[in-house]
Structure 1
Amino acid sequence: MSRWTCGIDGCDAAFEDVESTILHQTTEHKRHECKVCGTIVPDGYFAIRHAFDEHTRAEYVRAYEADSAAVRRREEVKREIESEADLQAVIEELDVNGVGG
């Protein structure tokens, strides 16, 4: 089974499943302030999802001074996570623990 790595600020915490990785990112790391709209979201997957679901690629590039390679990499991470993760289970776990996602 593939291992998932957190990756936030050099965090190399590894997990057997993507859901555990998302839970770690949400509960063990500081929240992220979106540079486009100022919304505070959990860092990692939820920050990427917010950026690409709520804003245009052009807004993201301007706000984060990102290039097309950075956009493609984050879109790839989002796509890979969403193809494997049981996101409803992650949200339910966060709700149970009073964290919210």
Structure 2
Amino acid sequence: MLKLRILLLSNYLYIFLLIITGVYCFIIINIGYQPKYKLNETEIKGYIYDIKINNQKVSIIIIGKEKVLGHYFFKNEETKKLFIKQYRLGDYIKLKGTLKKPNNNTAPN
């Protein structure tokens, strides 16, 4: 077995790591990201990861096949109180609605 000192001095290890990294980057760049949900799906099942309530709007992050951000606008104060009372982090829920692709970032760097 080679000593670590001798192994790290040889260039073969670094060349091997460079080739593996290059192949990995090439594969990741060319394959791209494929979403797990289709835009025509109307039902998402998953666990509540995060809840934010602002006045009459609730934003929920659901983890199912992937993370999804959902928004709901309360009709009145009673439905808001009922929602707060019934749902907690980690609950398994089913959302019904439409999926929209997020807008591109319009803020220049």
Pick the structure with more strand per residue: 2
Common fold, TM-score beyond 0.5?
no
Give the TM-score normalised by structure 1: 0.22
Give the TM-score normalised by structure 2: 0.21
Higher relative contact order (CA 8 A, sep 6+): 2
- For the pair shown, the structure with the greater C-alpha radius of gyration is 2
